[in-house]
Every structure is written in structure tokens, then in C-alpha cells.
Amino acid sequence: MRPIETVHAEPRESVESPDYRVNFWQQSGEAWALDAYALTEVEDITEVLRWVDEHSSGRRFEVFAEMDDEPERSYQSPRKTGLIRLLGTNPNVGVTVEIGRFVKI
């Protein structure tokens, strides 16, 4: 980390109450199972972290702020907004996983 001193912020835009994304990861054999949630109508990050603490059940997690407003859709419709990581890591980053193998006949 390299801190840089700066003057007050003059952001191009600001979002008072962003939506958040939380990914819970649990190891299942050699793979990681994912439970993902979008948290809307959130007061602040403290509320998000309290929710994570209440629902993590010891699982590894990531917390993101969503970059854009995105309407609520059905479970089968993936959310596509950009994410800003606030906390945690993805356990799959940098891990090679075999998904198949060719066998010479």
C-alpha cells in the first residue's frame, strides 16, 4: 500500500445508498461453492457487515459495492453491473481447475 495525501473530494458523481453484493464461498471437495446475494436499500456498510456476520456461518466471503443501479430481477437473471471490491478475496483466483481430460484412443 502507498498512501497519497490529498485535498477534499470533488467527485464527478456520488451514490448515497449503493447496492452491495456479497459472495459466500464454501469449500466442497476440491471446488468452491458460491452463494451470492445482492443487498438493496442499505443504510451503510456497517449494516452490510452486520448482515454478513449474521449469515456467513463461518464461510469465507467477499463484499462489493455495485457501480450502477440495477433493477431487481428473477434469480435466474444474473446482475451485470460493475463491482468495487471492499473486503475479502475470491478463492478461485490463480487456481487452475481441471474441467476435462482428453484420452488418446
**Domain ranges in the chain?**
20-88
Binned at pLDDT 50, 70 and 90, residue 29 comes out as: confident
- Quick: pLDDT tens for 49-98: 999 999 999 999 999 999 888 878 887 888 888 999 999 999 988 766 56
Share of the chain above pLDDT 90, in %: 51
**Residues 66, 20 contacting (CB under 8 angstroms):** yes
- pLDDT recorded at residue 38: 94
Query: pLDDT value at position 84?
Result: 94
Mean pLDDT score, 3-31: 87
